């Protein structure tokens, strides 16, 4: 820290980098408290745009749909992703496990537009009317990979002989999973759920491809309004979203950190004994 203080170059780069990253967001947040209707002119502090939001039926219903999709898809994705992680982390050997392990990462790097388009083609092919459920299914399928990756890294720390010990003591396999394995990997599973939920909340591309009449998510609603001009109301809703996502990210990192320090403290005691 001391060295940093004297090093003007470091400070300048830090300030520049972070301004570049956060200035737009700060401006957005500040202007959400602007009393003037003009987005670029400061007219004094006010929270009126937040109360105005409460009367914007269109936005409110978009929020409601988005939350519902997020909750349902994150929950399904967590179950499926955890199951995939369990298999890939070594329960049972089978042909081509390495291939599957690699394939689980593919949707993480695949352009969203391709994911969305392929989902759309699938729904068209099976002649599925698009709406709430098609978005939910699409979100489940792409967030599931993130859950699998997060849970898998958690499982790598898990001593499999614990589950064997439980079975040895008379516990049937499924119960052994729920009473022994799950409590151990729970921070990972919760972090996976949070991640899936957050990803679902702010997805625009895949939702646009897979939505239908009556199922407009919040990012879609914002996007379509912005095309007609940015209003302070949009700034307000965005500020709320930023807050929600930030809280989510903080929770995830706390969950992981807590698990990490727990592991470390027990390791220290072990080494000391």
Partner 1 sequence: MAKKPLGPVRRAFAPWENPEQQPFIEFRNVTKRFGSFVAVDQLSLKIYQREFHALLGGSGCGKTTLMRMLAGFETPTEGQIFLDGQEITRIPPHRRPVNMMFQSYALFPHLNVEKNIAFGLKQDNLPRSDIKRRVDEMLALVKLEAFAKRKPHQLSGGQRQRVALARSLAKRPKVLLLDEPLAALDKKLREETQIELMNLQEELRMTFLIVTHDQEEAMNLADRISVMNSGHILQVATPGEIYEQPVSRYVADFIGDINFFECKVTGCRPQNGGASITLHSEELGNEIKVKAGHPRMIGDAVTFAIRPEKMRISFEKPLDPSLNTIKGEVWDIAYLGDVSIYHIKVSQGHIVRTIVANTTRLVERPISWEDKVWLSFDAEAGVILSQ
Of residues 110 and 165, the one with the C-beta less far from partner 1: 165
Q: Any idea which residue has 């399904």 for tokens?
A: 76
Residue position matching structure tokens 């009393």: 35
Crossing angle of helices 132-155/112-125, nearest 10°? 130
DSSP letters spanning 38-79: STTS---B--HHHHHHTT-HHHHHHHHHHHHHHHHHHHHHHH
Q: Applying CB under 8 A, which residues contact partner 1?
A: 159, 161-162, 164-173, 176, 180, 183-184, 265-266, 269-270, 273
Query: What are the φ/ψ torsions at residue 34 (nearest 5 degrees)?
Result: -85, 135
The secondary element (H helix, E strand) that includes residue 229 is: none
- 87 vs 171, which CB is nearer to partner 1? 171
- Of 234 and 259, the one with the shorter C-beta distance to partner 1 is 259
Minimum separation from the CB atom of position 63 to partner 1 (A): 38
Cβ–Cβ < 8 Å for 196, 146: yes
Shortest approach of partner 1 to residue 140 CB, angstroms?
Answer: 30
Q: Minimum distance between the CB of residue 61 and partner 1, rounded to whole angstroms? A: 43
Q: Based on CB atoms, which residue is closest to partner 1, 6 or 270?
A: 270
* 3-class secondary structure, 23: helix
Complex with partner 1: residue 37 or 260, whichever CB lies closer = 260
> Would residue 34 be called left, alpha or beta, if left means φ above 0 and alpha means ψ between -120 and 50 degrees?
beta
CB of 160 to partner 1, least distance (A): 9
Taking the least distance from each CB to partner 1, the nearer of 186 and 245 is 186
CA-closest candidate to residue 201, choices 193, 213, 191, 190: 193
Nearer to partner 1, 172 or 229 (CB): 172
Place of tokens 């949070």: 194
Measured in residues, the chain has a length of: 273
Please state the closest distance from residue 189 (CB atom) to partner 1, in A: 14
- Spatial separation of the C-alpha atoms in residues 25 and 8, rounded to whole Å: 25
For 128, which DSSP code? Answer: P
Token pair of 270 as six digits: 């072990």
Cα dihedral 108→111→115→121 (10° resolution): -160
Q: How far is the CB of 172 from partner 1 (least distance, A)?
A: 5
Question: CB of 173: closest distance to partner 1 in angstroms?
Answer: 8
């Amino acid at each position: 820290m001391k060295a940093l203080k004297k090093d003007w170059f470091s400070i300048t780069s830090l300030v520049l980098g972070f301004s570049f990253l956060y200035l737009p967001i700060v401006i957005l947040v500040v202007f959400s408290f602007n009393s003037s209707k003009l987005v670029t002119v400061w007219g004094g502090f006010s929270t009126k745009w937040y109360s105005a939001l409460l009367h914007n039926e269109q936005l409110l219903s978009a929020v409601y749909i988005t939350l519902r999709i997020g909750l349902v898809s994150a929950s399904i994705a967590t179950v499926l992703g955890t199951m995939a992680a369990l298999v890939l982390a070594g329960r049972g050997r089978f042909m081509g496990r390495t291939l599957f392990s690699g394939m689980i990462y593919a949707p993480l790097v695949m352009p969203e537009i391709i994911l969305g388009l392929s989902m759309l083609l699938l729904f068209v092919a099976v002649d599925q009317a698009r709406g709430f459920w098609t978005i939910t299914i699409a979100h489940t399928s792409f967030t599931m990979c993130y859950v699998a990756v997060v849970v898998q890294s958690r499982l790598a720390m898990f001593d499999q002989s614990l589950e064997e010990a439980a079975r040895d003591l008379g516990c049937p396999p499924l119960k052994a999973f729920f009473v022994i394995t799950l409590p151990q990997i729970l921070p990972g599973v919760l972090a996976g759920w949070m991640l899936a939920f957050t990803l679902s909340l702010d997805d625009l591309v895949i939702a646009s491809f897979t939505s239908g009449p009556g199922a407009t998510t919040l990012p879609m609603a914002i996007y379509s309004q912005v095309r007609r001009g940015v209003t302070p109301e949009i700034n307000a809703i965005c500020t709320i979203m930023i807050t929600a996502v930030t809280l989510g990210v903080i929770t995830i990192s706390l969950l992981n950190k807590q698990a990490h320090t727990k592991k470390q403290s027990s390791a220290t005691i072990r080494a000391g004994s």
